[in-house]
Amino acid sequence: APVDYIIVGSGPGGIITADRISQAGKSVLLVERGGPSTWETGGRYQAPWAAGSNLTKFDVPGLFESMFTDPDSFWWCEDITVFAGCLIGGGTSVNGALYWVPSDNDFSTSAGWPEEWVNHQPYTSALTARLPPTDHPSTDGERYLEQVSTVVAEMLKPQGYSNVTINNDPNYKDHIMGYAAYDFIGGQRGGPVATYLQTAQARSNFKLQIYTEVLNVVRNGSTITGVITNDTSVLDGFYPLNPNGRVILSAGTYGSARILFRSGIGPTDMLQTVQSNPQAAPLMPAEEDWIDLPVGYNVSDNPSINLVFTHPSVNSYDNWADVFTDPPAADAAQYLKSRSGIMSQASPRWNFWSALGAPDGITRWMQGTARPGAASINTTLSYNLTNVFTITAYLSTGIQSRGRIGVNAALNAMPLVNPWLNDKTGSDEAALLTGLNNIISTISQVPGLELIMPDNTISMTEYVKTYDPSTMDSNHWVGSNIIGTTAGKAVVDPNTKVFGTDNLFVVDASIMPTLPYGNPHGTLMSVAEQAAAKILALAGGP
Ligand code: 6FA
Ligand code: ABL
């Protein structure tokens, strides 16, 4: 049956938008290509030690690191070459769940937002009322495996860092440090799936349809009449809209860009690539109806660099290697009994920020995230694996580098131009180097602390210059459908409507013009709250 709103993709952008629009009484169909994740959504993929409980891999925070090492990793989108979650919840069902309340600067015009978006506070407050962050997710209120926090705080203190509860003052992000905050609830993965999706599903005017991929929108000139899916149970896989109905793409930075290309919206080279694809070509609008917009350009992702250390006090938790198959029995038992202990937190433990000068005069911010263990270690030094920890340094607000994403002949989505450290003046790299050198400048003040990667055979400059770009990826892709006031410069207008269309919208990370101070999904969830309000307020809808 036709609906008022078809929303494509059940990541944080799609779920929050779908909940708010169904709350307003509109009929909403949320179409998700993947399947269940947490137990509550019907997921049943469990660690062997959790058998008999109602806890899937996606429910247990302590299983986060095993997302990257499990041979049965069905949750990643197979046709996107970087990490992207293809299941209910999208990225929020598989991510580290670090959750930072957005700052005013994250929604400023200098960060690229249109005037209409600057007053984010009502939407941010609506978000935190539904989904408050916690920096002590274990149900007993204790924090576990915090040796890393103590050591890193000791190293940063002489540099003038103060110890704060980070989300208490989101605007204050210079020389501060504090415990990791997550969107976990009751010691389990929470996020939009455990909150907004549940209220939406309680409404009779809302439906979630899983295992269904949207291929393209159906467009009569500027008017969208529905979407084409891979659902073979309906004619041509066509899902129709009501008169004045709307489609909202929330398929993620890569997924939404690909749907636009396949719908004849984007730069000519990408549309020609789609036209050369035998399956996609017949579904595309005629060339005279193509809409030329910079879909895929203006992309950013934080360049991130790992520093690996050892300290005798640190417990690397065996590098999280056995958490899925065979964790310490007492930790598993404690978690199963009361949702407390090590398994109630994802791996990150301690976070810090500082502002950095750069040759082009534009301030950059750097986030550091410290965790027990390391993803990879390349060093000539001998070390004790049980004492290893990592600081990931992310360059964030102020980045000038941009990249481009697109599709290949098989319509796999991928970076075409990497977005890291490519600004003309080299100021991103210079700022990152300053930040990295600052971090390590006080190592000697902490007895027993050693930097093992980079080791003593390579300078920090060389380390950064030779860093494998595929490991500089932060999974924080934004900007492919950038918001703005001018068609051609932007893909969506301040109401998140795609330029040149009457009723096609995008609400996901792809519309964000720049990266916020911290890991982005907190800011993105506020974006979705605000976008839903603007879409509902826009005249001409159902
Ligand atoms: N962000 C944070 O703030 N904190 C973190 O700790 C954090 N960690 C990670 C992380 O560890 C990993 C491995 C990844 C991949 C990301 C992390 N992020 C973190 C980033 C954060 O998760 C993303 O910024 C956020 O999830 C982006 O939300 P969006 O709503 O923009 O997009 P998603 O990719 O989450 O969801 C898209 C959904 O659409 C998916 O469910 C997908 O299956 C679905 N979809 C895609 N194409 C579709 C189609 N054609 N038809 C139907 N459904 C489609
Ligand atoms: C994020 O925001 C990043 O997107 C993730 O890359 C990061 O997790 C989480 N938060 C937690 O800080 C890291 C893992 O800790 C590494 O083990 C893994 O190699 C890396 O993601 C892969 O990108």
How many whole angstroms from 76 Cα to the centroid of ligand 1? 10
Alpha helix (H) ranges present in 341-465?
427-440, 460-465
Please spell the DSSP secondary structure of 241-281, one letter per residue: EEEEEEEEE-SHHHHHHHHHHHTTBS-HHHHHHHHT-TTTG
pTM for this model (two decimals): 0.98
pLDDT at 470: 84
Ligand 2 pocket, residue 301 CB under 6 Å: no
- Of 477, 473, 537, 476, give the one whose Cα is nearest residue 505: 537
Residue closest via CA to ligand 2's atom 11 equals 96
What residues of the chain score a pLDDT lower than 50?
Answer: none
Ligand 1 pocket, residue 92 CB under 6 Å: yes
How many whole angstroms from 411 Cα to the centroid of ligand 2? 26
Ligand 1 pocket, residue 521 CB under 6 Å: yes
Please spell the DSSP secondary structure of 109-132, one letter per residue: GGGT--GGGS--HHHHHHHHHHS-
pLDDT at 357: 98
How many whole angstroms from 26 Cα to the centroid of ligand 1? 25
509 Cα nearest atom in ligand 1: 31
Whole-number Å distance between alpha carbons of 393 and 408: 31
pLDDT at 79: 98
- Of 113, 481, 429, 110, give the one whose Cα is nearest residue 299: 481
Instruction: Tell me the one-letter amino acid at 84.
Output: A
Ligand 1 pocket, residue 8 CB under 6 Å: yes
* ipTM reported for the complex, 2 dp: 0.99
How many whole angstroms from 211 Cα to the centroid of ligand 1? 16
pLDDT at 379: 97
pLDDT at 452: 98
Q: Is the peptide bond prior to 454 cis by the omega test (within 30 degrees of 0)? A: yes
* Ligand in closest contact with the CA of 7: 1
Instruction: Tell me the one-letter amino acid at 97.
Output: A
Which residues lie across from 8 on neighbouring strands? 31, 249
pLDDT at 378: 95
Ligand 1 pocket, residue 250 CB under 6 Å: yes
Q: pLDDT by residue (tens digit) across 118-152?
A: 999 999 999 999 999 999 999 999 999 999 999 99
User: Which residue out of 475, 482, 514, 529 has the highest number of ligand 1 atoms within 8 Å of its CB and is therefore the one to mutate?
Assistant: 475
Ligand 2 pocket, residue 205 CB under 6 Å: no
**Token representation of residue 504:** 């096609």
